[in-house]
């Protein structure tokens, strides 16, 4: 078995569940409303950073080579 986590708008959720119901029940398990490992605020930050990365915008990220030079000098 493999595990994925999908975040979707509430309006799409029911349609997605209906689609899953077309599959054999023994082939998957839905874990609903499981407690998140990170807070909603952290999820928003992760989404924001992923969007920046997707756009090639690394302006808010630390250049580790520069950091290494600062720390080691």
> Which pLDDT tens digit goes with each residue over 19-47?
989 999 888 888 776 666 778 888 889 88
Residue 55: band (very low, low, confident or very high) from pLDDT cuts 50, 70, 90: very high
* Residue environment code for 36-71, b if the CB has 16+ CB neighbours within 10 A, otherwise e: eeeeeeeeeeeeeeeeeeeeeeeeeeeeeeeeeeee
pLDDT of 33: 67
pTM: 0.43
pLDDT of 52: 92
| Token representation of residue 61 | 């990220």
């Amino acid at each position: 078995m493999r595990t994925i986590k999908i975040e979707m708008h509430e309006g799409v959720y029911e349609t997605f569940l209906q689609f899953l119901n077309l599959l054999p029940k023994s082939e998957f398990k839905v874990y609903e409303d499981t407690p998140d490992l990170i807070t909603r605020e952290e999820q928003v930050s992760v989404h924001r950073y992923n969007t920046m990365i997707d756009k090639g915008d690394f302006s808010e990220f630390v250049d580790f080579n520069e950091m290494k030079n600062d720390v080691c000098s």
